[in-house]
């Protein structure tokens, strides 16, 4: 059971000090509430508008909120706050505040709030609190100007940087593409006879040459057999028929010209140009046939007809062997080129694959460049996402603070808290035994009887006079001392502000 009488006696004993703490804190709070200058708050509301012309970018609430957050951080930089404070003379010309203190005050007096969400408009509210209403409105309007300018610079700057980047990418990829095309062209020139693109032609040419070689071998075999048979017949019979040997191309041409001349003479005269031309051609062919002497091996049989036939056969054989040699050489070249085609196809495929990759990146960069140009035009014409002012700051007509009643009540509450803390602290620090219950709890004994201290009438009177004097001293001396401190040394509100600042509480 709580001994109320005991705690009441303790309260009365410590009442002077508790009253002193309560009076001091209440006095500080009251003076602060009375002397605190009036403050005025001004604010402006800004709205993030959706783009008027869609530029292909997806506009979301998160991107708008992120943009506002970036702008807020750029607004509250040290340079901006100092420029605004100096430009609008926020702290007066005679202010003794340091630069860091001014920045701290500017940031504490500035309020920036953002709102937005799904299916909601994204907005920003900028406010400032000052002792001068015009200064508050001017600072907010300056903030608004900085926000709009920063937004414009950010949007246009990002668009220009994007455009410059993709322009550089297009130029770089164009150079890479030209370089790759040059490598492919140089490779094709160096391996023009072994490219995979004409492999089918070379394979068909190889087949044709193989057939031709086979035909030439067959013709050579026939000619060799005819020559051998002609010589054998001559050795056996001693004569040979003119028709036994095949005619050379010159002889065939001569027979055709003579046939044509006989048919022309039936129509034209001897001195006609066509007849003269045919006779001239016939003479040339006859001289060519006469120029072909006996066979190159120098063998002569003594029979002119046989020698002429053998010479014609040998000439035909030499021609066919020459053609066969050329065919074999071309076949070897074709075989080498066909065998090299596989390696060339791999190398050329690698070059063309790199070219296709570069071409794909180039096409993507060109598309991105076109989009960047469109975005840049949209941003420079202010047709994209932007921030607009829907309500500018106006000069406030009524003060927004301070809440004087709350300051005074805070002082009283602080005094009561300190008084209660003092009472509890003194009780915790006092280890003396003052009640029988303390004897039982501390020594685990039960006293048989307790002899109290009995005050006399004179002692009781002195104690009451002392207590009353202390209370009167507290009620009179402390207020007078606070008044003297306020008037002679330093105003209590300024002293309280310094104390709070020294303690790091504000």
Q: Hey, how many other C-beta atoms are within 10 angstroms of the C-beta on 206?
A: 17
Cis peptide before 402 (omega within 30 of 0): yes
Beta-sheet pairing, 40-49 with 123-130? antiparallel
Radius of gyration in angstroms for the set of CA atoms belonging to the chain, rounded to a whole number: 60
Bridge-partner residues for 112, per DSSP?
Answer: 126
Greatest C-alpha distance within the chain: 192
> How many helices and strands, by DSSP H and E, does the chain display?
13, 4
Nearest to 396 by CA among 132, 219, 139: 132
CA torsion, points 419, 425, 427, 428, in degrees to nearest 10?
160
DSSP symbols for 173-231: HHHHHHHHHHHHHHHHHHTGGG-GGGHHHHHHHHHHHHHHHHHHHHHHHHHHHHHHHHH
Please tell me the predicted confidence (pLDDT) of residue 468. 80
Residue 184 binned pLDDT confidence (cut-offs 50, 70, 90):
very high
pLDDT tens for 276-298 read 777 787 887 777 766 655 444 44
pLDDT tens for 244-275 read 445 556 666 776 777 777 776 766 677 777 77
Spatial separation of the C-alpha atoms in residues 113 and 41, rounded to whole Å: 14
SS (HEC) of 342-401: HHHHHHHHHHHHHHHHHHHHHHHHHHHHHHHHHHHHHHHCCCCCEEEEEECCCCCCCCCE
Residue 313 binned pLDDT confidence (cut-offs 50, 70, 90):
confident
Nearest to 184 by CA among 379, 355, 19, 399: 355
pTM listed for this prediction: 0.56
Say yes or no to pLDDT of 500 above 70.
no
Please tell me the predicted confidence (pLDDT) of residue 427. 78
Element housing 265 (H / E): helix 249-265
Residue 174 binned pLDDT confidence (cut-offs 50, 70, 90):
very high
Say yes or no to pLDDT of 17 above 50.
yes
Average pLDDT over residues 434-461: 73
Please tell me the predicted confidence (pLDDT) of residue 316. 85
pLDDT tens for 317-339 read 888 889 889 988 988 988 888 88
Q: Compute the mean pLDDT over every residue in the chain, rounded to the nearest whole number.
A: 81
CB 205 within 8 A of CB 331: no
Spatial separation of the C-alpha atoms in residues 189 and 312, rounded to whole Å: 45
Q: Which residue has the higher pLDDT, 158 or 239?
A: 158
Spatial separation of the C-alpha atoms in residues 76 and 153, rounded to whole Å: 17
pLDDT tens for 83-94 read 999 999 888 876
pLDDT tens for 24-69 read 888 888 877 777 778 899 999 999 887 766 555 555 556 778 888 8
**Long-range contacts, stretch 361-365, CB < 8 angstroms, 24+ apart:** 361/173, 362/170, 362/173, 362/174, 362/176, 362/177, 365/166, 365/169, 365/170, 365/173
Share of the chain above pLDDT 90, in %: 21
Share of the chain above pLDDT 70, in %: 85
Average pLDDT over residues 101-112: 91
- Nearby residues of 209 by Cβ (< 8 Å), 6 or more positions away: 327, 330, 331, 334
Please tell me the predicted confidence (pLDDT) of residue 266. 66
pLDDT tens for 215-230 read 888 888 888 888 888 7
Say yes or no to pLDDT of 424 above 90.
no
Residue 350 binned pLDDT confidence (cut-offs 50, 70, 90):
very high
Residue 461 binned pLDDT confidence (cut-offs 50, 70, 90):
confident
Spatial separation of the C-alpha atoms in residues 72 and 66, rounded to whole Å: 10
């Amino acid at each position: 059971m709580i001994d109320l009488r005991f705690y009441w006696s303790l309260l009365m004993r410590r009442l002077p000090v508790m009253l002193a703490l309560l009076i001091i804190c209440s006095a500080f709070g009251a003076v602060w509430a009375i002397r605190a200058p009036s403050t005025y708050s001004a604010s402006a509301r800004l709205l993030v508008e959706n783009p008027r012309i869609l530029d292909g970018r997806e506009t979301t609430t998160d991107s708008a909120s992120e943009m506002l957050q970036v702008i807020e951080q750029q607004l509250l930089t040290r340079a901006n706050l100092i420029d605004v404070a100096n430009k609008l003379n926020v702290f007066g010309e005679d202010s003794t505040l340091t630069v860091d203190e001014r920045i701290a005050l500017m940031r504490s007096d500035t309020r920036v709030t953002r709102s937005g969400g799904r299916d909601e408009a994204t907005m920003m509210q900028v406010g400032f609190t000052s002792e001068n209403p015009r200064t508050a409105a001017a600072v907010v309007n300056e903030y608004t100007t900085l926000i709009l300018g920063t937004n414009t610079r950010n949007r246009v700057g990002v668009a220009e940087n994007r455009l410059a980047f993709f322009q550089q990418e297009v130029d770089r990829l164009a150079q890479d593409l030209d370089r790759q095309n040059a490598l492919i062209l140089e490779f094709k020139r160096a391996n023009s006879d072994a490219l995979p693109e004409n492999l089918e032609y070379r394979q068909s040419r190889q087949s044709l040459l193989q057939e031709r070689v086979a035909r030439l071998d067959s013709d050579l075999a026939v000619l060799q057999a005819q020559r051998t048979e002609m010589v054998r017949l001559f050795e056996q019979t001693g004569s040979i028929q003119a028709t036994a040997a095949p005619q050379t191309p010159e002889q065939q041409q001569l027979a055709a010209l003579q046939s044509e001349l006989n048919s022309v003479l039936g129509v034209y005269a001897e001195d006609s140009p066509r007849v003269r031309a045919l006779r001239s051609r016939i003479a040339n062919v006859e001289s060519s046939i006469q120029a072909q002497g006996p066979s190159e091996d120098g063998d002569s049989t003594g029979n002119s007809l046989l020698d002429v036939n053998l010479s014609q056969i040998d000439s035909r054989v030499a021609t066919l062997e020459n053609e066969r040699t050329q065919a074999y050489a071309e076949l070897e070249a074709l075989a080498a080129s066909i065998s090299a085609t596989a390696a060339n196809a791999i190398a050329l495929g690698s070059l063309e694959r790199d070219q296709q990759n570069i071409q794909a990146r180039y096409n993507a960069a060109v598309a991105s460049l076109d989009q960047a140009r469109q975005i840049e035009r949209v941003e420079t014409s202010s047709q994209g996402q932007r921030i607009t002012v829907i309500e500018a700051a106006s000069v406030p007509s009524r003060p927004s603070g301070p809440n004087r009643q709350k300051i005074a009540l805070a002082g009283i509450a602080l005094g009561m808290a300190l008084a209660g803390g003092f009472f509890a602290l003194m009780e915790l620090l006092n280890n003396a035994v003052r009640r029988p219950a303390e004897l039982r709890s501390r020594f685990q004994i039960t006293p048989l009887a307790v002899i109290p201290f009995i005050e006399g009438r004179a002692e009781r009177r002195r104690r009451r006079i002392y207590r009353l004097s202390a209370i009167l001293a507290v009620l009179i001396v402390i207020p007078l001392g606070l008044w003297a401190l306020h008037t002679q040394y330093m105003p209590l509100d300024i002293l309280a502000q310094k104390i709070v600042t020294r303690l790091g509480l504000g």
